[in-house]
C-alpha cells in the first residue's frame, strides 16, 4: 500500500473536467500535475486556477511525462478510445468519463489494452457510489430480495436535451462527436447501476426503440445538427432467467417516471425514491429507510464510506492499494453492449443477440 499522492494529468479542460478538477483538489492523496486541451485559453485558465505548472495543447506531451501516475480523460465520447489507449500505452492508469466510448468495439479495445499493459482502467459511473445503491446492494447480498429476476432502469428529463433546450454545446447532440443521445449521456448511469446490483450478468438478447419526436426551437435545431435520440427504450434478456427493461428520456411530454427498481422472489427495492417492499403472510409491507444514518455509519463505524461514496476518491484509494477497484470498466462495457444493442435493434426492427451486436459494432473514434 502506497502513501504517496497519486500524480494526475488531465486531458480536456471543458465543462466536465472542471468538476473533476474541483473534486481532485479536495482529495489530499491526489495531486494534479499537468493539463492538456486543444484550446490554449482553456488549458491555461484551468492551470492557473489550480496552480498546475504544466499546460499543453498537445496531449501527447502530457503522456510523455514520467512523473504522472494516472490520466483522467475528459473528452467527448468518440475521443475516449484514442486518448485512453494512448495513455495506457504510455504506461499510465486511466480514469475515463462516461460512457466508456462511442461504440462497443471501441470500449472493448480500451479494456483489452488495459489488460495487455497491466494498468487500471476506471470509468466514471457516479450512481454506483450513491447511498441508494449501497443500501440496495446490502439488501440483495443479505438475501432480503431472494432470487432477483427482473429490474427496471429509468431516467427522466422532461426538457433536458443539451444545447437545444438551453444548456451545453452542440457536440452533445451530434453523432460524429457523441455517437448517441439520451442513452449514452444519462442512460449509462442508470443501466450501469442496475448491472452492478445484478453482478454484471451476461447479456443474451436485446430489443429496443429510439425516438426524436418532441419539438424544439427551429433555430437551435438548424445550428445544432441534432441527430441523436431523445428517448430510448429497451428490453434485455440475461443468461438464466433475469431480465431488464429500460426507458431513458431527454425530452418527453410526461410529468415523471417511477424510479429504477429490482424485484425478487422475497422482496423488491426501488432506488429513487428508495423503498423496500415485501410480504409477511397476508401483510404487504412498504418500508422507507434512513439512508443518511446509514451513510454516517459507513463513514464513522465501517470507515469505508468516503472511498465508496465518490468515484474519484475510490479511484485514488484503489491506485494506492487501499481497496480493490470496482469493476467499472467491465460494467461500462456491458452497458455499451446494451445501449448499442438498442440502436442495432432499432435499425433492424427486431430482437438482436449480444453476439450480433458485437459482430456489427464498428469504431466511431475520432483520431486525435
pLDDT tens-digit profile of 173-218? 999 999 999 999 999 999 999 999 999 999 999 999 999 999 999 9
Tell me the angle at which helices 104-117 and 328-348 cross, rounded to the nearest 10 degrees.
Answer: 160
**pLDDT of 71:** 98
Please state the rounded mean pLDDT for residues 282-294. 96
- Report, as an integer, the average pLDDT of 144-164: 97
Across residues 49-78, what is the average pLDDT?
A: 97
In whole angstroms, how far apart are CA 129 and each of 4, 241, 273, 360?
A: 24, 27, 16, 33
Beta strands in the chain (DSSP E): 6-11, 30-36, 54-56, 70-73, 93-96, 121-123, 148-155, 203-211, 231-238, 243-249, 261-264, 267-271, 274-280, 283-287, 352-353
User: What phi, psi does 75 have (nearest 5°)?
Assistant: -125, 175
Residue-level pLDDT at 3? 77
Looking at residue 133, its pLDDT comes to 98
Question: Would the pLDDT of 318 be above 80?
Answer: yes
Say if residue 1's pLDDT is above 80: no
Q: Is the separation of the CB atoms in 230 and 250 below 8 Å?
A: yes
Query: Could you write out the DSSP letters of every residue in 202-248?
Result: PEEEEEEEEE--S---HHHHHHHT--S-SEEEEEEEESSS-EEEEEE
Residue 123's DSSP bridge partners are: 96
Which of helix, strand or coil describes residue 140? helix
Q: What is the pLDDT of residue 167?
A: 86
What is the pLDDT, as a whole number, of residue 232? 98
Number of Cβ within 10 Å of residue 18's Cβ equals 16
pLDDT score of 19 more than 80 = yes
Count of C-beta atoms within a 10 Å radius of residue 13: 25
pTM, rounded to two decimals = 0.96
Query: How far does Cα 29 stand from its chain's mean position?
Result: 23
pLDDT at 305 over 90: no
Amino acid at each position: 500500500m502506497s502513501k504517496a499522492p497519486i500524480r494526475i494529468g488531465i486531458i480536456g479542460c471543458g465543462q466536465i473536467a472542471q468538476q473533476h478538477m474541483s473534486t481532485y483538489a479536495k482529495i489530499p492523496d491526489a495531486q494534479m500535475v499537468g493539463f492538456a486541451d486543444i484550446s490554449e485559453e482553456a488549458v491555461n485558465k484551468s492551470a492557473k486556477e489550480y496552480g498546475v505548472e504544466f499546460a499543453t495543447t498537445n496531449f501527447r506531451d502530457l503522456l510523455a511525462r514520467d512523473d504522472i501516475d494516472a490520466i483522467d480523460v475528459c473528452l467527448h465520447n468518440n475521443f475516449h478510445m484514442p486518448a485512453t489507449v494512448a495513455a495506457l500505452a504510455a504506461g499510465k492508469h486511466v480514469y475515463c468519463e462516461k460512457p466508456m466510448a462511442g461504440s462497443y468495439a471501441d470500449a472493448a479495445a480500451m479494456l483489452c489494452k488495459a489488460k495487455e499493459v497491466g494498468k487500471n482502467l476506471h470509468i466514471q459511473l457516479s450512481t454506483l457510489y450513491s447511498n441508494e445503491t449501497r443500501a440496495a446492494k446490502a439488501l440483495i447480498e443479505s438475501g432480503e430480495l431472494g432470487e432477483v429476476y427482473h429490474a427496471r432502469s429509468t431516467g427522466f428529463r422532461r426538457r433536458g436535451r443539451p444545447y437545444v433546450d438551453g444548456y451545453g454545446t452542440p457536440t452533445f447532440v451530434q453523432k460524429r462527436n457523441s455517437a448517441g443521445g439520451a442513452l449514452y449521456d444519462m442512460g449509462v448511469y442508470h443501466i450501469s447501476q442496475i448491472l452492478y446490483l445484478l453482478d454484471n450478468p451476461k447479456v443474451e438478447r436485446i430489443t429496443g426503440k429510439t425516438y426524436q419526436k418532441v419539438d424544439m426551437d427551429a433555430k437551435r435545431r438548424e445550428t445544432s445538427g441534432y441527430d441523436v435520440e431523445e428517448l430510448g427504450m429497451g428490453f434485455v434478456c440475461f443468461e438464466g432467467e433475469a431480465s431488464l427493461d429500460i426507458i431513458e428520456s431527454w425530452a418527453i411530454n410526461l410529468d415523471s417516471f417511477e424510479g429504477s427498481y429490482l424485484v425478487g422472489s422475497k422482496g423488491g427495492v426501488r432506488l429513487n425514491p428508495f423503498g423496500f417492499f415485501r410480504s409477511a403472510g397476508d401483510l404487504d409491507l412498504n418500508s422507507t429507510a434512513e439512508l443518511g444514518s446509514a451513510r454516517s455509519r459507513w463513514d464513522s463505524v465501517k470507515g469505508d464510506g468516503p472511498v465508496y461514496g465518490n468515484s474519484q476518491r475510490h479511484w485514488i484509494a484503489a491506485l494506492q492499494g487501499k481497496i480493490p477497484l470496482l469493476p467499472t470498466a467491465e460494467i461500462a462495457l456491458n452497458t455499451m453492449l446494451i445501449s448499442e444493442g438498442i440502436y442495432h435493434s432499432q435499425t433492424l426492427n427486431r430482437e438482436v443477440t449480444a453476439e450480433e451486436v458485437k459482430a456489427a459494432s464498428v469504431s466511431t473514434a475520432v483520431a486525435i
